[in-house]
Amino acid sequence: MSEILSLIVAKYNFWLYIILMMIGLYAMIAKNNLMKKLVGMNIFQTAIILFYVSIGYKYGATIPIIRGDEGGHGVHDMVIHAADYINPLPHVLMLTAIVVSVATFGVAMALCVRIYQRYQTLEEDELRMRLSDKSHR
* Residue 19 backbone zone (phi > 0: left; psi -120 to 50: alpha; other: beta): alpha
Tens of pLDDT, residue by residue over 56-69, are 888 888 888 876 66
Are residues 45 and 97 in contact, defined by beta-carbon separation less than 8 angstroms? yes
The residues, ordered by sequence, that sit 6+ positions from 116 with a Cβ below 8 Å of its Cβ are 122
**Which CA distances in Å does 43 have to 99, 100, 131?**
15, 14, 29
pTM here is 0.79
Tens of pLDDT, residue by residue over 105-119, are 999 999 999 999 999
Instruction: Show me where the domains of the chain are located.
Output: 2-61+79-136
Region 2-61+79-136: CATH code: 1.10.287.3510
Residue 93 pLDDT more than 70? Answer: yes
